[in-house]
């Protein structure tokens, strides 16, 4: 399984056309099974599939520690790496199957209702005493971009990065789906025994949607920052759960939508951080 694929294309610059090979981000389906039963199918970039499945199950509220998992394996008998079977530890209740397949743009498709999406978190972001300087936050987009190795070749992947409060990189994952990138990151943390992710910052390369806020809350992450806009539902959920939500984090500017109390204005340009909505 390769994260990129080559294709012959025609490139037009001004009035000149040339033929060349271009690198494309791979997108393929992954069927996740739990104890042999189909749970969901998601479109993803192959790689870190075990982390993806584990992170997905954290977001579903099914597991919270490495000992909740028994085994994970690709179904090699199907001559493919696009089917993954997760065996839960004895006593761990399996999640309810999704109603239909998810796309790389949707992490909560198939839920029967909004109430079902608001999974009960095991840890409270509201109780996390984390504080972070605005100068640290301003550095995160560049640090995340510098770690996007596959994006450099394709320009077609989202990224999610986990940082400590000093801006140190803990983990970075890429995928065609922004929710998959976060699931891969959370799954890595679970398998490393790091949950809950108290005192950390989740930085994402796109917008901050409801599903990303939910995944941050379920992993115990107190701060979520995005280079683009949040949705109204994302802001509402962040306020309810005590999560610090930052959008439009670009250059010296950022909008703090909730949890402004965790942000310390530091460094040059500190006056450009403003609270769009406090929570």
- Residue 226: enclosing H or E segment and its boundaries? strand 223-226
Please name which of 60, 211, 188, 39 lies closest in space to residue 122, comparing C-alpha atoms.
60
Are the C-beta atoms of residues 137 and 250 closer than 8 Å to each other?
no
Are the C-beta atoms of residues 126 and 242 closer than 8 Å to each other?
yes
Rg (CA), the chain: 19
- Neighbour tally for 134: CB within 10 Å: 22
* Rounded (5°) CA angle 97-101-102: 105
Are the C-beta atoms of residues 8 and 141 closer than 8 Å to each other?
no
CA separation for the pair 60, 215 (Å, rounded): 9
Q: Specify whether the backbone of 211 is left (phi greater than 0), alpha (psi in -120 to 50) or beta.
A: alpha
- The CB-side HSE value for 192 (13 A sphere, CA atoms) comes to 12
Question: Of the residues 75, 106, 109, 171, which is catalytic?
Answer: 106
Please name which of 179, 168, 243 lies closest in space to residue 206, comparing C-alpha atoms.
179
Q: State yes or no: is 106 an active-site residue.
A: yes
Are the C-beta atoms of residues 187 and 55 closer than 8 Å to each other?
yes
CA separation for the pair 235, 247 (Å, rounded): 10
Catalytic residue positions, numbered: 106
């Amino acid at each position: 399984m390769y994260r990129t694929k080559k294709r012959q294309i025609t490139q037009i610059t001004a009035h000149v056309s040339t033929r060349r090979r271009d690198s494309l981000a791979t997108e393929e389906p992954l069927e996740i099974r739990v104890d042999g039963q189909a749970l969901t199918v998601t479109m993803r970039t192959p790689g870190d599939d075990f982390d993806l499945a584990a992170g997905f199950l954290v977001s579903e509220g099914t597991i919270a520690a490495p000992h909740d998992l028994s085994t994970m394996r690709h179904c090699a008998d199907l001559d493919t790496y696009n089917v993954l079977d997760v065996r839960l530890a004895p006593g761990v209740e399996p999640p309810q199957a999704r109603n239909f397949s998810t796309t790389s743009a949707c992490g909560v498709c198939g839920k029967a209702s909004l109430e079902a999406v608001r999974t009960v978190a095991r840890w409270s972001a509201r109780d996390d005493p984390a504080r972070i300087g605005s100068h640290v936050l301003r550095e995160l987009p560049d640090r995340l971009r510098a770690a996007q190795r596959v994006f450099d070749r394709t320009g077609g992947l989202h990224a999610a990065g986990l940082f400590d409060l000093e801006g140190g990189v803990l983990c970075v994952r890429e995928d065609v789906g922004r929710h998959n990138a976060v699931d891969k990151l959370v799954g890595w943390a679970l398998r490393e025994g790091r949950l809950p992710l108290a005192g950390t910052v989740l930085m994402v390369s796109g917008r901050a949607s409801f599903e990303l806020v939910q995944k941050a809350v379920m992993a115990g992450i107190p701060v979520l920052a995005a280079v683009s806009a949040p949705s109204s539902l994302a802001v509402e959920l962040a306020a309810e759960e005590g999560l610090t939500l930052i959008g439009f984090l670009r250059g010296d500017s950022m909008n703090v939508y909730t949890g402004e109390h965790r942000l310390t204005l530091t460094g040059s340009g500190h006056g450009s951080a403003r609270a769009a909505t406090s929570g």
